[in-house]
Amino acid sequence: MNTAITIILFLIFLFISAIHFYWAFGGTWGSDSVLPTKENRVKALNPSILSTVIVAFGVLSFGLFILVKSGILAFNLPNWLNQYGLSIIAGIFIIRAIGDFNYVGFFKKIKQTKFGKSDTKYFSPLCLLIGILTLILALSM
């Protein structure tokens, strides 16, 4: 079961990373519904190319880390990362699913924007799924 969860998580992280690289290098598909907006349709975030690339590498590193923890890839990790890494990743995504109580997450106030609807339907459930699957891995290792 751990191997299946590992592969599912890696593929999710690989896809999320790839779409961020796509956006960083000028792609526009989906970009109108992935950034939080205020009720007047003004974007609450305007990420730079650099920040988008950092997110892409960060998410890719989460996927690679999960492969290392599962033994699919061999790489020496610092003790603190080896011990707490999966819990940190799970926490990041569970907190993202809960949200900031304003623009993102299940408990957001602004729900009727294009992003708000996409977040409720896709992004927050995906973050919760990632968090739960990563927590299952953390508890089983």
**82-120 pLDDT tens trace:** 899 999 999 999 999 999 998 899 999 988 888 989 999
pTM equals 0.91
In a domain, 108, yes or no: yes
In a domain, 41, yes or no: no
In a domain, 31, yes or no: no
In a domain, 32, yes or no: no
Backbone torsions φ then ψ of 57, nearest 5 degrees = -65, -40
In a domain, 37, yes or no: no
In a domain, 118, yes or no: yes
Evaluate whether 110 touches 100 at the Cβ level (below 8 Å). no
Place of tokens 């603190």: 80
pLDDT at residue 67 is higher than 80: yes
Cα–Cα distance, 133 to 46 (Å, whole number): 30
Show the domain range for 112: 1-26+46-140
In a domain, 34, yes or no: no
